[in-house]
Structure 1
Amino acid sequence: MAKKKHEDTREHLLAVGESILKGKGFSAVGLAEILTAAEVPKGSFYHYFPSKEHFGCAVLERYFALYQLGMQALEAEYDCGSERLMHYWRTWLMSQGACSQANQCMVVKLSAEVADLSEPMRQVFKQGTDGVIERLAKWLDEPRCEGAVLPEMSPQAVALMLYQMWLGASLLTKIRQDSSALETAMQTTCHLLGVKDL
């Protein structure tokens, strides 16, 4: 029972922390704000995390673990790699195009801020994004994705190119406060994958 309570409190802190960090970033948020929102005493926080940086790493590790679970669910839902990929990009367009804090991509929100501040957090971002790109490459490498253009490029190279394009489009969406960059990314993706724009 004590272990379950321990896990619940830690998970609660991470979930609350992610919500706050999505809105304000990492540097602008103090532990007091997170502890107040989570209704957890300061002593309890340090029982789970030695520092704010360790907490930040744990938030990001949790974020990428849940993100991978979402990608894994798409593998169960769609047999065809190209359908799976297009669902993934459509979901990205809808979530990031809405410019909603709740749907904020943690990579877009925090990576540039923390990469120069915290080497451990930068490493978590690197491992997390590498994992996403690796899974996208796996989908591209499936036989039913053979119709994609640029056959001279490896699935890994195409996955990296697409992921970079969508991250950049998401940043422009934040700047412009409209989804035009993401819509362009979708058109380019459809062209590269040889599918019709849905």
Structure 2
Amino acid sequence: MNSERPDTRQHILTCGQQLIAAKGFVGVGLAEILASASVPKGSFYHYFASKEAFGAALLDNYFADYLSRVDALLGRSDLSGAQRLLTYFQRWIETQCGEDSAQKCLIVKLGAEISDLSESMRSSMLAGTESILRQLADCIAAGQADGSIGSTQDPAEAAQWLYQAWLGASLLTKLRRDCSSLDAALSGTRAHLKLN
């Protein structure tokens, strides 16, 4: 029985993430999560004390996966710091402009919705975004060191500026239903970092 628990818990999280990425946290009821995961209510409550606890676990799971992928990309030694950043942001454009809602950024989808709704979910999201900022700052510092990034701005400040710009562009992309804001964010990134 114990060997099945992590798989069942992960299955519930995966099914829930797909629904929430498409409809938002408030827009998805517990019954819909249970039906999607094909588990009874008792199984859900075995792993999660509440829907809010489920939401915090979902965000922790999302960030663990996302940060692992970002680390693999931004940590590549065969590319310059600038090339790694550009690859990261190109991937951002592809996922935000793609049709698969499960691939889209949960921070963009849920940030405003849950920040005033749940302290535990807000804390999970904040911790995840701070980890992303550290990874971006490390990549910017590497690009400054290898000469591919001409900006001398503090890497942490540059990462903050970039991340805010890309989150804002992603929100505008949802409103406009086109990629023009993300294309502009990419141009702004190149100019801001003085990419060589």
Q: Which range, TM-score by smaller chain?
A: over 0.9
Are positions 1:186 and 2:151 aligned together? no
Q: CA deviation at 1:77?
A: 6.1
Whole-angstrom CA distance in 1 between matches of 2:136 and 2:149: 16
Instruction: Map 1:50-69; keep pairs closer than 5 Å.
Output: 50-69=49-68
> Could you say which residue in structure 2 is the equivalent of 1:41?
40
Q: Distance between the aligned counterparts of 1:130 and 1:102, measured in 2?
A: 22
Matched letter for residue 112 of structure 1? A
The code of the aligned residue for 1:168 comes to G
How big is the shift at 1:80? Answer: 2.1
Residues 126-137 of structure 1 aligned to structure 2 (within 5 Å): 126-137=126-137
The letter for the 2-side match of 1:162 is L
Per-residue deviation at 1:100? 3.8
Structure 2 residue aligned with 1:164: 164
1:133–1:156 contact (8 Å) kept in structure 2: yes
Once the two structures are superposed, residues 35-57 of structure 1 have per-residue CA deviations (whole angstroms, 9 ceiling, x without a partner) of 00100110011000000000000
Q: Residues 119 and 175 from structure 1, CA distance in 2 versus in 1: closer, same or farther, beyond 3 angstroms?
A: same
Q: Which residue of 2 aligns with 1:148?
A: 150
Is 1:26 the counterpart of 2:28 in the alignment? no
Deviation at 1:79, TM superposition (A): 4.2
Give the number of equivalent residue pairs: 193
Segments of 5+ residues of structure 1 without an aligned counterpart are none
1:106 equivalent to 2:100? Answer: no
Measured in 1, the distance between the counterparts of 2:77 and 2:96 equals 22
- Judged with a 3 Å threshold, the aligned counterparts in structure 2 of structure 1 residues 79 and 4 are, in CA distance, closer, same or farther, namely farther
CA pair 145-175 structure 1, distance change in 2 beyond 3 A = farther
Contact preservation (8 Å) 1:139, 1:145: no
Q: For residues 20 and 77 of structure 1, do their structure 2 counterparts lie closer, same or farther at Cα, with a shift above 3 Å needed?
A: farther
2:138 is the alignment partner of 1:138: yes
How far 1:72 moved relative to its partner?
A: 1.6
RMSD of Structure 2 on Structure 1 (CA): 1.4
Contact 2:82–2:149 (CA under 8 A) maintained in structure 1: no
| Ranges in structure 2 where 5+ consecutive residues have no aligned partner | none
Contact 1:31–1:52 (Cα < 8 Å) also in 2: yes
| 1:114 and 1:122 in contact (8 A); partners too | yes
Aligned to 2:11: 12
Shift of 1:25: 0.5
1:78 & 1:32 partners in 2: Cα distance? 47
Shift of 1:160: 0.3
CA distance in 1, matches of 2:32, 2:136: 36
Deviation at 1:145, TM superposition (A): 4.8
Cα displacement (A) at 1:123: 0.5
Q: CA deviation at 1:148?
A: 2.6
Task: Say if 2:169 and 2:185, in contact at 8 Å, map to a contact too.
Answer: yes
- Give the secondary structure class of the aligned counterpart of 1:175: helix
